[in-house]
A and B are shown apart, each in its own frame.
Chain A
Amino acid sequence: MYDMSLLKPLKLIRIARRAGVVTVRYPYQPPLITDEFRGRIVIDAKKCIGCGACVNVCPSNALTLIDDGDKRILNYFIGRCIYCGRCADVCPVNAITISKEFELATDKIENLNSRVVHQKSTCCSCGEERVATEKMISYVVSRVPVSEAYAHMGSNCRKRRFVEGLMLGRGMLHVETEK
């Protein structure tokens, strides 16, 4: 009679019927996302101190630091981000959180840039521009027993002050004391 093995492929119909309709009708139904999904990052501008640890660790340089006059800008380019989450790992103040957002399509590429603007700090005694931002200095002062005045000084001025202090102590320097 008929070769029954030829009917074996028809078992697919039973498999298909058992599986049913599996389509997740996005966007009318929620997407297939788990709790662990890593979407774009969100930088909390209140916490960020502009230290640049995230910039150093980002493998694709999606996070960059740009100097613009007396401002230092942390630029996050969503277009090149690889969603690895290393920046959130290394941020010392936990300013970076990983959200679950993935609906990031746009027709204007400028919209993919997100910036946090910091004020650069200058040396309080000579006015020279420094590497740190104002918020970085406040962060250091709140954790380390240094005075605000010391923290606001540039490294050249600090060295000068240190040497002057030594020379004063050994009587090699005369300082006009204020009356």
Chain B
Amino acid sequence: MVDVEPRLEDVEKIRKELEVKLGNIARRIEYVSGAGLIVEVPKDSIRDTVKVVHDELDAYLRVIAGVDERPIKGVFSSYYVFGLDNIGLNIIITTYMDSENPSISTIADIAPSADWYELEMYDLLGIRVENRQLYRFVLPEDWPEGLYPLRKDVAHNIRPPPTPAEKGVITGPRIPVGPYHPALHEPEYFELYVEGERVVDVRYNGFHVHRGIEKLGESRFTYQQVPFLAERICGICGFVHSVCYTQAVENAAKIEVPERAEFIRSIILEVERLHSHLLWVGVACHLLGYDAGFMHAWRIREKTMVLAELLTGSRKTYGINLIGGVRKDINRDKIDTVLKTIKWVEDEFRKLVEVITSVPQVVKRASGTGILPRHEARRYSVVGPVARASGLNRDVRKDYPYAAYKYVSFKVPVYTEGDNLARLLVRVDEIFESINIIRQLLDQLPSGSIMAEDIEIPEGKIGVSSVEAPRGEDIHLVITGKGRPYRWRVRAPTYQNIPALKVMLKDAPLADAPLTIASIDPCFSCTDRVIVVDVSTRKRKIISLRKLVKLEGNGCMI
């Protein structure tokens, strides 16, 4: 079935409220099931509308998607998706811009988390956002001006000539794709501006992993091929993206998914959460210098990888999800193996956590550092364990229920301190909750088929779906087209969390930076290297993270 819908009385209440407040501005206010309450306004009133929705109704900003609708309607359009967590309703503000010189005013001063979305709209679609600074964000520096890849008249496989190796701009010991033991890095780096030992500002220079996935999903791939593409958006939480995409299309096309398939999807999602959190615990221990914790956490994690292979056929990038259901079933033997494995994981991990949280260096370094206060967390609309560690009770599994989560009961761990230790404890608690959820799901597994028959996907429908990834809320927006999506917008959780780093790293000692950056669990566990800019002496120094880790003295020897 489609995602659980909010109650109609609540929807009506909000609709009436919006009609009162926006009656003379909004062209239409309509509820579309599977997406939300669509509010269409002219582009000049976007700021007033956002003020009403974000400030007065207290909705969170979830995602902004720009769409090139010139082939269909002759305009550019953009969709601002806000969410009301307490009733599980999306409010989607849409507006149109003319096709020659599309432009719209900024809303980043009202909702600070809109900053990156607006930059991306400009970079990839050419929609000018006024009253703010625009700079190259996603595309590389050597990309030609005026060539916007997401527009419909640009092919997906164009190759403007690449640049040869960098010449002379910044010389010196620059090894930009530096590794970092244990080399779990991705080529992006943070620029930390320091004064002595204190961090004063941080800038993120990233998107080195931009592969043009949204464009590919709209051009070369068909509906049933996109789940495989979506799974490879991230190698650690890939199944989340695959489920989110299929759910968005199923919402848009009103496809009924058999219950057994929903249960299987939920079970695999929880197995993925286990492996991801165990991975993070290991990496966090390593960053604190406690390598023994790293090795033991990954020893426990290996069993979950073998379990995933038994259930799906591959250790990672499972490839069992399709629109309408799943490809592989679970039989009695597999259920027994699952129960045995998660019992083993639970026992082992409980012992390990007892040890980790009693190591004095670990506790001292993690508590009181990287604090994100509650009101800042609300302003930046952070998601996932970062939000839950700062006192915000946000969990997509409870607020916008999907798949089989409406049949299980579980706790959402919320801590209020907002420091690194709180984020670690949230994830530890979530591991035990996941194990609990898997047991409940296996208990209630219904019989039946695992794939829907006769799937038909009409054109021009909009669907929004969100899933709780191990890192936070992942949200996909799909506008259906002929044989493939017309527009597919992906917003991974880390995208929403990184801007909050500015607050967490401000006035913090430099040596706390690696752990703080890793504590938001960037979907590529971390910065390979940091560039440290000493503001007072105006000198740039490149330090490898290994050295930064060692700056705190030797880690625990055990």
Interface residues of A (CB under 8 A from B): 5-6, 8-12, 15-16, 19, 22, 32-38, 57, 59-60, 82-86, 89
Bound state CA distance, A89 and B309, in angstroms?
A: 19
Are A34 and B306 in contact (CB-based, < 8 A)? yes
Bound state CA distance, A84 and B354, in angstroms?
A: 40
Question: Hey, which chain B residues are within 8 Å of A11, CB to CB?
Answer: 351, 354-355
Which of B296, B302, B317, B354 contacts A16, CB < 8 Å?
A: B296
A10 to B, closest residue via Cβ = B558
Are A15 and B359 in contact (CB-based, < 8 A)? no
Question: Hey, which chain A residues are within 8 Å of B551, CB to CB?
Answer: none
Question: Hey, which chain B residues are within 8 Å of A6, CB to CB?
Answer: 360
Are A12 and B299 in contact (CB-based, < 8 A)? no
Query: Distance in Å from the Cβ of A12 to the closest Cβ of chain B?
Result: 5
Bound state CA distance, A55 and B359, in angstroms?
A: 56
- Between A and B, 6 residue pairs with Cβ closer than 8 Å are A5-B358, A9-B558, A19-B296, A36-B313, A37-B313, A84-B319
Question: Hey, which chain B residues are within 8 Å of A59, CB to CB?
Answer: 221, 225, 228-229
Which of A8, A9, A35, A36 contacts B312, CB < 8 Å?
A: A36
Q: Mark B62-81, 1 if CB is under 8 A from A, else 0.
A: 00000000000000000000
Question: Hey, which chain A residues are within 8 Å of B543, CB to CB?
Answer: none
Contact size class for B?
20 to 34
B322 to A, closest residue via Cβ = A86
At the interface, yes or no: B32 with Cβ under 8 Å from chain A? Answer: no
At the interface, yes or no: B556 with Cβ under 8 Å from chain A? Answer: yes
Bound state CA distance, A82 and B318, in angstroms?
A: 10
Bound state CA distance, A68 and B83, in angstroms?
A: 56
Which of B232, B309, B317, B556 contacts A37, CB < 8 Å?
A: B309
Q: Which of B310, B314, B348, B558 counts the most A-chain CB atoms under 10 A from its CB?
A: B314
Bound state CA distance, A36 and B328, in angstroms?
A: 10
Interface residues of B (CB under 8 A from A): 221, 224-225, 228-229, 232, 292, 296, 299, 302, 306, 309-314, 317, 319, 327-328, 348, 351-352, 354-355, 358-360, 556, 558
B357 to A, closest residue via Cβ = A8
Bound state CA distance, A130 and B73, in angstroms?
A: 40
Bound state CA distance, A173 and B184, in angstroms?
A: 79
Bound state CA distance, A32 and B309, in angstroms?
A: 10
Which of A5, A37, A60 contacts B314, CB < 8 Å?
A: A37
Bound state CA distance, A141 and B355, in angstroms?
A: 71
Bound state CA distance, A104 and B360, in angstroms?
A: 47
B306 to A, closest residue via Cβ = A32
B337 to A, closest residue via Cβ = A34
Query: Distance in Å from the Cβ of A134 to the closest Cβ of chain B?
Result: 29
Query: Distance in Å from the Cβ of A60 to the closest Cβ of chain B?
Result: 8
Bound state CA distance, A22 and B296, in angstroms?
A: 11
Query: Distance in Å from the Cβ of B169 to the closest Cβ of chain A?
Result: 35
Are A82 and B228 in contact (CB-based, < 8 A)? yes
A-B interface, 9 closest residue pairs, ranked by CB to CB distance from nearest:
A8-B358, A84-B319, A59-B225, A59-B228, A36-B313, A34-B310, A38-B313, A9-B359, A12-B355
Question: Hey, which chain A residues are within 8 Å of B292, CB to CB?
Answer: 12, 16
Query: Distance in Å from the Cβ of B218 to the closest Cβ of chain A?
Result: 15
Are B354 and A34 in contact (CB-based, < 8 A)? no
Are A15 and B296 in contact (CB-based, < 8 A)? yes
A33 to B, closest residue via Cβ = B309
Q: Which of A11, A33, A59, A85 counts the most B-chain CB atoms under 10 A from its CB?
A: A59
Which of A22, A36, A57 contacts B299, CB < 8 Å?
A: A22
Are B360 and A15 in contact (CB-based, < 8 A)? no
Question: Hey, which chain B residues are within 8 Å of A35, CB to CB?
Answer: 310
Are B228 and A15 in contact (CB-based, < 8 A)? no
Q: Contacts A9-B558, A10-B558, A37-B309 known; A15 to B317 CB distance under 8 Å?
A: no
Bound state CA distance, A5 and B363, in angstroms?
A: 13
Question: Hey, which chain B residues are within 8 Å of A34, CB to CB?
Answer: 306, 309-310
Query: Distance in Å from the Cβ of B49 to the closest Cβ of chain A?
Result: 39
Query: Distance in Å from the Cβ of B467 to the closest Cβ of chain A?
Result: 21
Question: Hey, which chain A residues are within 8 Å of B314, CB to CB?
Answer: 37-38, 83
Bound state CA distance, A37 and B311, in angstroms?
A: 10
Bound state CA distance, A88 and B299, in angstroms?
A: 34
Bound state CA distance, A12 and B352, in angstroms?
A: 7
Which of A9, A32, A60 contacts B358, CB < 8 Å?
A: A9
Bound state CA distance, A5 and B229, in angstroms?
A: 50
A14 to B, closest residue via Cβ = B351
Given contacts A15-B352, A59-B221, 5 further A-B contacts (CB under 8 A): A11-B351, A15-B348, A22-B302, A84-B319, A85-B313
A35 to B, closest residue via Cβ = B310
Question: Hey, which chain A residues are within 8 Å of B556, CB to CB?
Answer: 9
Are A12 and B296 in contact (CB-based, < 8 A)? yes
Bound state CA distance, A11 and B558, in angstroms?
A: 10
Are B225 and A57 in contact (CB-based, < 8 A)? yes
Bound state CA distance, A82 and B309, in angstroms?
A: 15
Query: Distance in Å from the Cβ of B156 to the closest Cβ of chain A?
Result: 13
Q: Contacts A9-B358, A34-B306 known; A15 to B351 CB distance under 8 Å?
A: yes
Question: Hey, which chain B residues are within 8 Å of A37, CB to CB?
Answer: 309, 313-314
Q: Contacts A59-B229, A84-B319, A89-B327 known; A8 to B355 CB distance under 8 Å?
A: yes
Which of A10, A36, A86 contacts B309, CB < 8 Å?
A: A36
Bound state CA distance, A111 and B229, in angstroms?
A: 26
Query: Distance in Å from the Cβ of B6 to the closest Cβ of chain A?
Result: 35
Which of B229, B232, B311, B355 contacts A15, CB < 8 Å?
A: B355
B300 to A, closest residue via Cβ = A19
Question: Hey, which chain B residues are within 8 Å of A36, CB to CB?
Answer: 309-313, 328
Query: Distance in Å from the Cβ of B361 to the closest Cβ of chain A?
Result: 9
Bound state CA distance, A67 and B225, in angstroms?
A: 25
Query: Distance in Å from the Cβ of B270 to the closest Cβ of chain A?
Result: 19
A98 to B, closest residue via Cβ = B313
Query: Distance in Å from the Cβ of B290 to the closest Cβ of chain A?
Result: 9
Question: Hey, which chain B residues are within 8 Å of A5, CB to CB?
Answer: 358
B312 to A, closest residue via Cβ = A36
Bound state CA distance, A10 and B292, in angstroms?
A: 11
Query: Distance in Å from the Cβ of B309 to the closest Cβ of chain A?
Result: 5
